[in-house]
């Protein structure tokens, strides 16, 4: 498995892209960063976009991708996949012909550029060699993380999306070995109250979450740090003294 990090920031600042994780050039997890990072040739390799939740920094690339396909007269179609609440929110508030054209019926009502696909939490979807399962996470809106298993090599990664402290998520995943955990740490320890209120983690909260996971993840990658607090969060993560922990940067590639 090869995951290219299109963006991993918790806010949009110059030099910082919001979340987008591209698996093997064809499957995208969250679409915060997409058309501003990939050229058209790379964009039209993407066939499926899995969305953790409907906050703008996780879906903002979808409208531009659809527009590029239509304007370029490219016969390419993309599935937007998530839990029912997220799909309904995207349809109602984004692709509603007010905020943006409804590309689920463009260029033709029965042949839209985008297809909205509902996937219930806990239910699996198979794409090529991958089994992808959404699990509910603790956030301010209905949200999921995605467990992805490569059936060929029996390797798994779990991308949390935005997540606050949660027993439920780890209980549902159970004793499944996670080889690569991509997890949100947005705020410094001094802002723990804000983190909990907004459904995110701090370095200290991360340490507590990891104690809930059995067996422990082989590798841990940190995403969604707010750029305003990048320096202090990096320092606090370093103090955890975890050799298998790495802070992600835009453009990184994870190989599992």
What topology does CATH give the domain 2-255?
Metallo-beta-lactamase; Chain A (3.60.15)
- Rounded to whole angstroms, the Cα distance separating 190 from 162 reads 19
- Cβ neighbourhood burial of 189 (10 Å; 0-12, 13-18, 19+): middle
Q: Are 202 and 225 in contact (CB under 8 A)?
A: no
Q: In sequence order, what DSSP letters do the residues of 144-160 get, joined into one string? A: EEEEEEETTTTEEEEE-
CA angle 209, 89, 66 (to 5 degrees): 105
3-state DSSP call for residue 174?
coil
3-state DSSP call for residue 204?
helix
pLDDT tens for the chain, 256 residues long, are 999 999 999 999 999 999 999 999 999 999 999 999 999 999 999 999 999 999 999 999 999 999 999 999 888 999 999 999 999 999 999 999 999 999 999 999 999 999 999 999 999 999 999 999 999 999 999 999 999 999 888 999 999 999 999 999 999 999 999 999 999 999 999 999 999 999 999 999 999 999 999 999 999 999 999 999 999 999 999 999 999 999 999 999 999 9
Phi, psi of 148 (to 5 degrees): -120, 125
- Centre a 10 Å sphere on the Cβ of residue 65 and count the other Cβ atoms it contains: 25
Question: For residue 214, what are the CA distances in angstroms to 53, 82, 176?
Answer: 26, 26, 8
3-state DSSP call for residue 133?
strand
Question: For residue 20, what are the CA distances in angstroms to 31, 87, 235?
Answer: 5, 18, 25
251 dihedral zone (left: phi>0; alpha: psi -120 to 50; beta): left
Label the pairing between strands 2-7 and 253-255: antiparallel
- Rounded to whole angstroms, the Cα distance separating 115 from 212 reads 36
Token digits for 83? 């839990």
Q: Are 4 and 35 in contact (CB under 8 A)?
A: no
Predicted confidence at residue 153, as pLDDT, reads 85
3-state DSSP call for residue 254?
strand
Q: In sequence order, what DSSP letters do the residues of 74-126 get, joined into one string? A: ----EEEEE-HHHHHHHHHHTSSSSSS--TTSSEETTEESEEEEE--TT--EE
Q: Are 55 and 25 in contact (CB under 8 A)?
A: no
> Where are the chain's structural domains?
2-255
Q: Are 79 and 48 in contact (CB under 8 A)?
A: yes
């Amino acid at each position: 498995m090869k995951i290219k990090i299109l963006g991993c920031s918790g806010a949009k600042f110059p030099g910082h892209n919001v979340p987008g994780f591209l698996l093997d050039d064809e499957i995208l997890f969250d679409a915060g960063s997409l058309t501003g990072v990939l050229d058209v040739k790379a964009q039209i390799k993407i066939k499926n976009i899995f969305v953790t939740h409907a906050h703008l920094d996780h879906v903002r690339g979808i409208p531009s991708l659809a527009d590029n396909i239509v304007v370029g007269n490219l016969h390419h179609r993309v599935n937007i996949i998530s839990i029912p609440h997220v799909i309904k929110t995207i349809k109602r508030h984004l692709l509603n012909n007010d905020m943006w054209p409804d590309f689920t019926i463009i260029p033709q009502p029965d042949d839209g550029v985008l297809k909205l696909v509902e996937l219930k939490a806990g239910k699996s979807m198979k794409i090529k060699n991958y089994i992808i399962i959404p699990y509910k996470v603790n956030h301010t809106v209905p949200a999921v993380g995605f467990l992805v298993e490569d059936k060929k090599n029996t390797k798994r990664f779990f991308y949390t999306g935005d997540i606050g402290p949660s027993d439920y998520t780890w209980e549902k995943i159970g004793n499944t070995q996670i080889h690569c955990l991509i997890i949100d740490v947005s705020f410094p320890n001094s802002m723990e109250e804000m983190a909990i209120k907004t459904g995110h983690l701090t370095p200290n909260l991360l340490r507590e979450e990891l104690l809930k996971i059995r067996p422990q993840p082989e590798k841990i990658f940190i995403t969604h740090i707010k750029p305003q607090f990048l320096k202090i969060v990096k320092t606090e993560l370093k103090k955890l003294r975890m050799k298998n922990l790495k802070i992600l940067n835009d453009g990184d590639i994870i190989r599992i």
